[in-house]
Amino acid sequence: MFGGIGGEPHSVELVLYTDAHIVRARYETRQRRVTDMLNASDEPFLVVHDAVFDELGATGSPLRAEFAQINLASVLFAVTTEPVEPVPELRTPKVPEQALISIPPFKVVGRIHLLPERSLHESLQELTGRFLPVTDASYWSDRLGEARQSAAMVAVNHARAQILAPHREADPWEGLGPGDEAPAEAPPWPDADRPA
C-alpha cells in the first residue's frame, strides 16, 4: 500500500468526485502528490477512512463510513486540501499549457504539463497516465449547480476526460478602449414588458 517514492506514511485529506458522489475522506500514503497516490495503486480501488459521501445533485443527508473502498474507474477527479511542494530532483522539464478538461458533468480549467520541443498535437499524443495533474485549476458543474472552486492541483481521470487545448477564457473587456463601457447585460424581461 505504501509503495513508490515518498517519506513516512501519513494521512491525507482527499476529496474524490465520482460519477455519483463527492467523497471526503482520509487516505494513508507515503506519496506526496494526489496524482502519485492515485497512479501508484496496484489495485483498481483505494481504501479510505472517515469517509463522508454526498450524492451529486442531491440535498439529502450524507452517508458516513469508518472505511470505504473507492472504485478508481468511477473517480472523475480528485483534489487535496494540503499543498505539496515538488521535489526538484524528481521534476521532468515540462511546458504548461492552459486547457479545458470536460469530465461530465464537471469542467476543469487549468494548466496541463507537456513535454517541451514538440507541437501541441504531438504533446497531447504523448500525454499518458491514469490520473493527470492539472495545476492552478478551477472546477465546477453548471448542470449540478456546483459553484466554481479553485485548487492548486486537480488529479483528472484520463480515461474519463476530454482535453481541449489551448484554452482561453473569453474576456468581456476585450476590444474596449479607455473610456469605453463594458457591454450592457440584456434586461431580464422582453422590451414589451419593460417598465416605463
Tens-digit pLDDT profile for the chain (196 aa)? 334 455 688 899 999 999 999 999 999 998 888 898 899 888 999 999 999 999 998 888 999 999 999 999 999 999 987 766 655 555 677 889 999 999 999 999 999 999 888 888 898 988 888 999 999 999 999 999 999 999 999 999 999 999 998 887 766 556 666 665 555 554 444 444 444 4
What structural domains does the chain harbor?
Answer: 10-80 (2.30.30), 92-164 (2.30.30)
At residue 32, the pLDDT reads 83
| Integer Cα distance of 190 and 192 in angstroms | 5
Q: What was the pLDDT predicted at 111?
A: 94
CB atoms within 10 A of CB 157: 22
Residue 22 has a pLDDT of 95
pLDDT of residue 191: 45
Displacement of CA 38 from its chain's centroid (Å): 13
Q: What is the pLDDT, as a whole number, of residue 137?
A: 95
Sign of CA dihedral 177, 180, 185, 189: negative
SS3 73: helix
Residues 79/33, Cβ–Cβ less than 8 Å: no
What span, in angstroms and rounded, lies between the C-alpha atoms of 84 and 35? 11
Cell of 147: 459553484
pLDDT of residue 60: 82
pLDDT on residue 190: 45
